[in-house]
Structure 1
Amino acid sequence: MKYKDILLSIVLNIFWGYVWIFLIYHILGLTELRGNTLIIGVTLIIVGTILFGEIIRRINPLFEYKINHPVKIVGFFIFWDSSYLQFIFDHFLISSNLTLEAHSI
């Protein structure tokens, strides 16, 4: 196990976590324009997440490690942590901007 592999896993998974949240927000933005938003949105999010996971799995240079390798474990937790933090940051940032705009009117 090299520290370079751990650092590469952390950086790549932070990037992929951000891109995944961006994909989810883009899908939600597209489905707001159509009828049956919940059905279409959930279906597209599930299909998009499966395809996104498959693409990441194939292009990740650390693919050859087993699932219980420390580099993969660190990458998994970093991906979900960065996705969660990005979601929370966007949610509270958007909510606080809407609140500030409502009070200024």
Structure 2
Amino acid sequence: MKNLTIIYSVILHGFLGYVWIIFISKLLDLFQLAEKSVWAGVLIGVGTLLFLDMTSRVFESFGKDKKHPTRIAGYISFGLVVLGWLMIFKAK
């Protein structure tokens, strides 16, 4: 059962990382056209805080401990998705 919850956490955190990337890239495209970088930074900050809150609420069933292996695996998958996007797609 523990392996199943770890896989579940990895998949959901990876998906949330992908959705966060889409959110950030659309905001950057929108505000780059309008040349309003201050508002883009504010909305990206607020959106990131909302994504962090969403992940903590969705994964409360994994336990309150921040060092739980399921949470750590999920956070790593979120980070790998974001870093992969930065390394692969933004490097072009």
Secondary structure at the aligned position of 1:32 is classed as helix
Identity %: 32
Relative contact order: is structure 1 or structure 2 higher (C-alpha 8 Å, sep ≥ 6)? Answer: 2
Task: List gaps (5 residues or longer) in structure 1.
Answer: 96-105
Q: Tell me how large the CA RMSD over aligned residues is.
A: 1.8
Q: Provide the rounded CA distance (Å) in 2 between the counterparts of 1:4 and 1:79.
A: 18
Change (3 A) 1:65 1:59: same
> Corresponding residue for 1:87?
86
> Corresponding residue for 1:99?
none
Aligned-partner residue type, residue 28 of structure 1:
L
Displacement over 4 Å in runs of 4+: none
The alignment's TM-score, normalised by the length of structure 2, stands at 0.85
Mapped contact 1:14–1:79 kept (Cα < 8 A): yes
Query: What number of residue pairs does the alignment pair up?
Result: 92
Q: Provide the rounded CA distance (Å) in 1 between the counterparts of 2:45 and 2:8.
A: 27
Aligned-partner residue type, residue 13 of structure 1:
H
What is the correspondence of 1:1-105 to structure 2 with a 5 Å cutoff? 2-35=2-35, 37-60=36-59, 62-92=61-91, 95=92
Mapped contact 1:14–1:82 kept (Cα < 8 A): yes
The alignment's TM-score, normalised by the length of structure 1, stands at 0.76
Mapped contact 1:65–1:72 kept (Cα < 8 A): no
Mapped contact 2:13–2:55 kept (Cα < 8 A): no
Q: Provide the rounded CA distance (Å) in 2 between the counterparts of 1:71 and 1:34.
A: 41
